[in-house]
Amino acid sequence: KSETIKKYLEFCARFHNYSFSNQILILLQCPDATHVAGFRTWQKMGRSIRKGSTAISILAPVTYKREKETKDENGDSIEDMEEENIVRYFRPVCVFDINQTMGDKPVPSADIKITGDSHQRLLQPILNHIHTLGITTRFSEKPLGSALGYTTPSKLIVVDSTLSVNQQIETLLHELAHQTLQHLSNENNPHLSREE
């Protein structure tokens, strides 16, 4: 599993860190986007854009280099000039989400289910602690869709009972963090804060 996570992190490291403004543009145009890159970046990763895919438009800076005078600690000019990049303007560029690409190799994923029951001894103390905080827990026999668990503003944590004990513990702690940090949805849509 650590090798799988390592491959996933190496994969993610190849992506550009987009500005907040570009993240908003991506969200508005493709709300389900997960990994976004330009045409050439996808090519370098051995992936091609699916025919008919609609590009996501973001803004890229157009820069020029300018020599910048540098000074020593006394304020005297130093002969070596530094270059600095100055943004002249922004232009629209096209990027694509990973779901708009295809390739021979499967894309690394961090979606790893935890197996086993080696931490069984921790389950009851964790449940006890959650209950002392005034939070109710329930293990659902019904499928929760793609969610492993969820939490509601009425201080209820629901966990899929078919999960391994170790996964149940991880999910309980994840949902407890949502309760503690108040990352909660409204009562009518509890699944907005679910762990997937």
Domain boundaries, the chain: 2-66+77-103, 120-193
Locus of tokens 């513990």: 169
pLDDT tier at 23, thresholds 50, 70, 90: confident
Please spell the DSSP secondary structure of 126-167, one letter per residue: HHHHHHHTT-EEEEESS--TT-SEEEETTTEEEEETTS-HHH
C-alpha distances out from residue 12 to 35, 67, 80, 173, Å:
8, 34, 37, 25
The alpha carbon of 174 is separated from its chain's Cα centroid by a whole number of angstroms, namely 15
- Position 186 pLDDT exceeds 70: no
Locus of tokens 């990352």: 183
Please spell the DSSP secondary structure of 59-78, one letter per residue: EEEEEEEEEE--B-TTSPBP
What CATH number should be reported for the domain whose range is 120-193? Answer: 3.30.2010.10
CA distance 152 to 159: 12
State the pTM of this model. Answer: 0.48
| CB of 114 closer than 8 Å to CB of 160 | no
- Quick: pLDDT tens for 85-114: 888 999 999 999 998 999 987 776 656 678
Q: In terms of pLDDT, which residue wins out, 3 or 117?
A: 117
- Quick: pLDDT tens for 34-62: 889 999 999 998 999 999 999 999 999 99
